[in-house]
Amino acid sequence: MDSGGSSLPSSVAADARKRRVCYFYEPEVGNYYYGQGHPMKPHRIRMTHALLLNYGLLQKMQVFRPNPARERDLCRFHADDYVAFLRSVTPETQQEQMRALKRFNVCEDCPVFDGLFSFCQTYAGASVGAAVKLNHGHHDIAINWSGGLHHAKKCEASGFCYVNDIVLAILELLKRHERVLYVDIDIHHGDGVEEAFYTTDRVMTVSFHKFGDYFPGTGDIRDIGFGKGKYYAVNVPLDDGIDDESYQSLFKPIMAKVMEVFQPGAVVLQCGADSLSGDRLGCFNLSVKGHAECVKYMRSFNVPLLLLGGGGYTIRNVARCWCYETGVALGVEVEDRVPEHEYYGYFGPDYTLHVAPSNMENKNSRKLLDDIRIKALENLSKLQHMPSVQFQERPPDMEFDEEDEDQECGDERDDHDEEMDFPKLSEDFKCKSLPENKQNIKTDMDIDGSEVKNHQEAFQRLNPKVEPVSSEVPAYTKDMVAGLTTVNEPSDVKPHCETFPLFSKS
């Protein structure tokens, strides 16, 4: 397949140029459990990480352990009462809060489980932390495979998502960048992110998804944004069985046009892996390479890039995909043969990274694809003739204010992303002292005593970085920051929606 590449005159670097990549991973994330039979399995993040470790990819990037997002960080998008509910609800006490469960849609798709709130804090903290890294300009690409929970709404859980880490990360990027592009290749429509930015011209959302009798029911090609946001939402509705070639016949021309007319300062790419062939809940027929082609293409524009996870329910394929895409981010072609490691058994009988797509029918006819491409490009061409967005002064840089932390933050963890070093596999995994060339910043962080297990023993959690995850920007829903028109309140400007279950236990 054509490896693509930007033809933009503004693209300064050749695609082959190395990118500075950072990666966020919380060793505990794989232990969260949605419940028996639930298709969302955070364990897939740990499997992905194990592949990265055993392929030797961790040494090629800076690895950070995320700081949990604090309640007030989450409230920059979410409603206070919803966040307070997520913090307080437990499997034991949920029966006493039936009304709230219903109100916030915490139900079968989005169950209450042990550690729910800390899970939300973890994946959201990682996405926001990754956005902060990009804002600082020391990294070209930041990765958080535990993020990408695109269905969560301001005051409602949806589609296995509770907190919308993507919206929070975009809000962070907007402090530095006038325009942020969001691209979503999960099989489901990126409804929560689209809705949040539906009426602003500072964020363009582009979603490629299965449409028609499918969760969440939104994402019609005619849903294009509203008010100032008109033409800043792009929806690409697809049908069952789409293959690599059909997918790229839309993805590349549409994204090339988007980059040309919107010229974002940063790009967020949600890499939901339920669009892969053979997904437990999905019905597309993409190969890992076809999926990763989207990453390769967006990387080629050489704009700060945040890579997030998302859906993905055949977990061995999710790990394959995100491992391969990490390689793409690094500019490394990962070997097909999976190295032996603790989750090796998942990858049998072939033990390869790539899996052949199936022979399922591609219901996306050439005519249908042409019509969609033409319509999407036509909408985008309307932007070309609009006056460009006025440059707005950005909010001040985030300052780490310890006093304020003490007053407002009751969390035990502090606000610093913790860098982890990963020794080569052949090396002894015993802790070493801090490298001399790295500054040892004294903090009260718990980096010494905590127990690490299994492959996590490979981590040497050293060299904490003092970097705030967020600044004192008022919640968007109350005070608008730097000219961003609005983050949407639930209202009648929302796109049309029919209701379909994402998952029902039968």
Residues forming the active site = 151
**Cα separation of 172 and 76, whole Å?**
10
Which residue, chain included where needed, has tokens 């609009």? 386
Given the complex with Zn ion, which of 32 and 231 has the nearer CB atom?
32
Which member of 147, 311, 327, 468 binds Zn ion (CB under 5 A)? Answer: 311
Per-residue DSSP letters for 45-71? HHHHHHHHHHTT-GGGSEEEEPPPPPH
**411 burial via Cβ count (<10 Å: 0-12, 13-18, 19+):** middle
Which residue, chain included where needed, has tokens 């970097």? 467
Q: How far is the CB of 212 from Zn ion (least distance, A)?
A: 15
Q: How far is the CB of 114 from Zn ion (least distance, A)?
A: 24
Q: How far is the CB of 495 from Zn ion (least distance, A)?
A: 17
Closest to 30 measured CA to CA, from 479, 324, 454, 371: 454
Which residue, chain included where needed, has tokens 């804002």? 135
**What is the total count of residues that contact Zn ion (CB under 5 A)?**
5
Given the complex with Zn ion, which of 199 and 207 has the nearer CB atom?
207
Residues numbered 449-488 forming contacts with Zn ion, rule: CB under 5 A: none
**Cα separation of 33 and 30, whole Å?**
8
Asked if 174 contacts 141 with a C-beta cutoff of 8 angstroms, the reply is no
Using the contact rule CB under 5 A, the part of the chain among 18-26, 89-97, 179-187, 294-302 near Zn ion is 179-187
Q: How far is the CB of 307 from Zn ion (least distance, A)?
A: 16
Using the contact rule CB under 5 A, the part of the chain among 5-13, 264-272, 285-293, 359-367 near Zn ion is 264-272
Distances (CA, A) of 123 to 33, 63, 153, 157, 332: 14, 15, 16, 15, 26
Using the contact rule CB under 5 A, the part of the chain among 107-115, 178-186, 293-301, 425-433 near Zn ion is 178-186
Count Cβ atoms below 10 Å from residue 485 Cβ, excluding itself.
15
Closest to 465 measured CA to CA, from 447, 452, 449: 447
Q: Does 109 appear as a known binding residue?
A: yes
Contact between 184 and Zn ion by CB under 5 A: the answer reads no
Using the contact rule CB under 5 A, the part of the chain among 181-189, 228-236, 391-399, 447-455 near Zn ion is 181-189
Q: Does 34 appear as a known binding residue?
A: no
Which member of 76, 188, 209, 461 binds Zn ion (CB under 5 A)? Answer: 188
Q: Does 313 appear as a known binding residue?
A: yes
Q: How far is the CB of 190 from Zn ion (least distance, A)?
A: 9
Q: Does 188 appear as a known binding residue?
A: yes
Task: Map residues 268-287 to x or -, x wherever contact with Zn ion holds by CB under 5 A.
Answer: ----x-x-------------
Q: Can the peptide bond before residue 68 be classed as cis, meaning omega within 30 degrees of 0?
A: no
Given the complex with Zn ion, which of 319 and 383 has the nearer CB atom?
319
Q: Can the peptide bond before residue 216 be classed as cis, meaning omega within 30 degrees of 0?
A: yes
Given the complex with Zn ion, which of 111 and 192 has the nearer CB atom?
192
Tokens standing for 445? 């962080």
**Helices and strands counted in the chain (H then E):** 12, 10
Given the complex with Zn ion, which of 133 and 188 has the nearer CB atom?
188
Q: How far is the CB of 191 from Zn ion (least distance, A)?
A: 10
Q: Does 371 appear as a known binding residue?
A: no
Residue nearest to Zn ion (CB): 311
Q: Does 401 appear as a known binding residue?
A: no
Strand ranges in 145-280 using DSSP code E only, listed in sequence order: 180-184, 203-210, 233-238, 266-270
Contact between 186 and Zn ion by CB under 5 A: the answer reads yes
Q: Residues comprising the binding site for substrate?
A: 109, 159, 313
Q: Which residues are near Zn ion by CB under 5 A? A: 186, 188, 272, 274, 311
Q: Residues comprising the binding site for a divalent metal cation?
A: 186, 188, 274
